[in-house]
Amino acid sequence: MPNVVVPIPARDAANEVDRATLPDTAGMRPLTGELLLTAWEEGASAPDLRRALTMLSIALPGGDQVQLSALPLADRNLLLLRLHELSFGPFLNVFGVCPNCAARLEFAVRVAEMAALLESKPSARAVTWTEAGRQYRMRPVTTDDLIASLDAADVRPAQELLLERCLEVSPPHEPGRLSATPTVLQKFEQVQATTELSCAIECPGCSERELLDLDIGRFLWAEVRTAARRLLGEIHELASAYGWSEQAIAGMGADRREAYLEMVGA
């Protein structure tokens, strides 16, 4: 197992994140049983960026994808981490390959540590500054912004579109004359850096240290897909043995299903 280091910055009251726009997570439900199958079925046909919103909207009673898509990515990722912990436990079990020596990497990261990392950042706040007689405001990227950037022909136009969507200038520039000054680019990187989830690992094969980015949306979807297919297999086996409905079997707790499966296999 490689050594894993997840940096947890000290909390700073002056930089405490205002998360008033986050949906109420008190009623968040785990993706199990029927909810798991619904998330898998709807997510399978959704574009990649929409899957994260689909899973969250199913887990949150009254979840509104329009509201979720307008959240800063850091806040959306925090919700996804909470949903993962609720549905699949306190660890992210990650598999990869060392880019230096091609050794297979397997490591686990505590979800609570990743959540604390996001919460401790001066986050999802817009930053404002004055330059050359203009007032600038840079806000964090949202899922809506990423979806809009998919229409761009290449990486460069996509980056320019994100910058245009996130930047407000007063008085405004002439249409099509957005000035991507060094300060603008630096502020953009500063604000968006708060959305990143990453951990440093040391490869057991070559001792090389790498910083790996974790896409929690894709990670959670992989867990949902695997768990849903496993549940469908259990439903098939129990329905074949007992004639029970899919809904009845999916509504059972995992321990009860396992007990019946053991009896079927005995």
Beta strands in 76-225, from DSSP E residues, in sequence order:
91-97, 104-110, 127-131, 134-138, 167-170, 198-202, 209-213
pLDDT over 70 for what percent of the chain? 87
Mean residue pLDDT of the chain comes to 85
Question: pTM, whole model, 2 decimals?
Answer: 0.84
Half-sphere exposure of 84 (CA within 13 A, CB side): 28
| pLDDT digit string, tens, across residues 58-69 | 999 888 899 999
41 and 84 share a domain?
A: yes
95 and 8 share a domain?
A: yes
pLDDT score for 39: 97
88 and 218 share a domain?
A: yes
Q: Which residues pair with 94 in a beta bridge?
A: 107
Q: Where in the sequence is the domain holding 54, given as residue range(s)?
A: 3-123+198-265
217 and 95 share a domain?
A: yes
Give the confidence band of 86 by pLDDT, cuts at 50, 70, 90. Answer: very high
156 and 74 share a domain?
A: no
pLDDT score for 10: 36
- Domain boundary (194, 223, 251) is at 194
22 and 153 share a domain?
A: no
| pLDDT digit string, tens, across residues 128-168 | 999 888 899 999 999 999 999 998 889 888 988 999 899 99
- Domain boundary (148, 178, 194) is at 194
| pLDDT digit string, tens, across residues 31-71 | 999 999 999 999 999 999 999 999 999 999 888 899 999 99
